[in-house]
Amino acid sequence: MKRIAVFTSGGDAPGMNACIRAVVRGACYHGIDVFGIRRGYNGMINGDIFQMSSHSVSNIVQRGGTILKSARSKEFMTVEGRQQAYEQLQKFGIEGLVAIGGNGTFTGATLFYDEFGIPTVGAPGTIDNDLYGTDYTIGFDTAVNTALEAIDKIRDTADSHDRIFFIEVMGRDSGYIAIQSGIAGGAELVMVPEVLTPISEVVETLRAGWSRQKSSSIIIVAEGEEEGSASEISEKIRKRVQSDIDMRVTTLGHIQRGGVPTAYDRILASRLGLGAVEGLMNGQANVMAGIINNELVYTPLKDTIRLPKPISEDLLRMVKILSV
């Protein structure tokens, strides 16, 4: 393998830059020419491809976002788009790819590999932590810490006014950000898509708190929650409890995607970026580099998106025990 390219795709995640740096510097170390592709699959289709050097990735390890920019490409979902992308890669003599992204990125990479056989190794970059084959994804730890900082601040005002706050966090269909930020932030209840929490249980939890003289409560709602968004849930609760109970809703939104990556995310991203390059060199194809129990492992891309990554029941149980 003499020439590879790296790109970031899908929702950006803090630590993606540290991963790009590791890919580029790892390739340089091994004497491989490395190219960057801008704006994910869109850049591949349009030939927005440029050579990178060790110097191109100076001073980025600490930066959020992605210097390669990102996109969710509709065109790449068509055969014509993928054909065009293949032709561009041929033009540049690219023999292998490192794809940094999540679900959608790896779905595209799998199709592309099946049709054109260009070996791809993925590095899991998404705040959602919803990929099988790695304990954590790049950006998740930073997102949890961002959410936690917000929860801590909301707790101050919730406590001062004796209010109930419903705080909605990101995660698409996954409750990982919710459960981790909820535990760390001492939430009274965490509602995740993986486990049904009926409205009656939320009401019961609040009532139990009131009977213990608890005057404020924080309920974390994952965005994919079955009972609805945080504001829909708060409306449902309002109908069941006294109307004078003071409730507020905060949706944290995209602040969870930005910011300086934590040390954990930078280290994870560095290991996975180098692991992806060395995987390609050793003949890995159509797999994702991940870290399980502190060991670098490669998992077929199709398994990373197909297999479930359940939330530990123990964590959910713990929220209930510790919120008493």
Residues tagged active-site = 128
φ and ψ at residue 244, rounded to 5 degrees: -85, 5
| DSSP letter for each residue of 279-324 | HHHTT--SEEEEEETTEEEEEEHHHHHHS--PPPHHHHHHHHHHT-
Say how many residues make up the chain.
Answer: 324
| DSSP letter for each residue of 69-84 | -----SGGGSHHHHHH
Token couple for 28: 């340089």
Find, among 86, 161, 169, 168, the residue nearest to 129 by Cα.
169
Least Cβ distance, residue 68 to ligand F6P (angstroms)? 17
Q: Which is nearer to ligand F6P, 32 or 178 (CB)?
A: 178
How buried is residue 232: exposed, middle or buried, by Cβ count under 10 Å (0-12/13-18/19+)?
middle
Owner of token pair 């790296």: 6
Q: Which is nearer to ligand F6P, 26 or 101 (CB)?
A: 101
d(CA 42, CA 238): 46
User: Taking the CB of residue 148, how many other CB atoms lie within 10 A of it?
Assistant: 18
Q: Which is nearer to ligand F6P, 172 or 236 (CB)?
A: 172
Least Cβ distance, residue 171 to ligand F6P (angstroms)? 5
Looking at the DSSP bridge assignments, the partners of residue 51 are 35
Q: Which is nearer to ligand F6P, 128 or 141 (CB)?
A: 128
Least Cβ distance, residue 256 to ligand F6P (angstroms)? 7
Binding site for ligand F6P (CB under 6 A): 11, 102, 126-128, 170-172, 223, 257
**Which residues, 6 or more positions from 117, have their beta carbon under 8 angstroms from its beta carbon?**
none
How buried is residue 211: exposed, middle or buried, by Cβ count under 10 Å (0-12/13-18/19+)?
exposed
Q: Which is nearer to ligand F6P, 18 or 131 (CB)?
A: 131
Least Cβ distance, residue 253 to ligand F6P (angstroms)? 9
Least Cβ distance, residue 193 to ligand F6P (angstroms)? 11
Least Cβ distance, residue 260 to ligand F6P (angstroms)? 17
**Which residues, 6 or more positions from 60, have their beta carbon under 8 angstroms from its beta carbon?**
17, 18, 20, 21, 67
Identify residue 130 by its one-letter amino acid code.
Answer: D
Give how far the C-alpha of residue 320 lies from the chain's centroid of Cα atoms, to the nearest Å: 26
Q: Which is nearer to ligand F6P, 171 or 193 (CB)?
A: 171
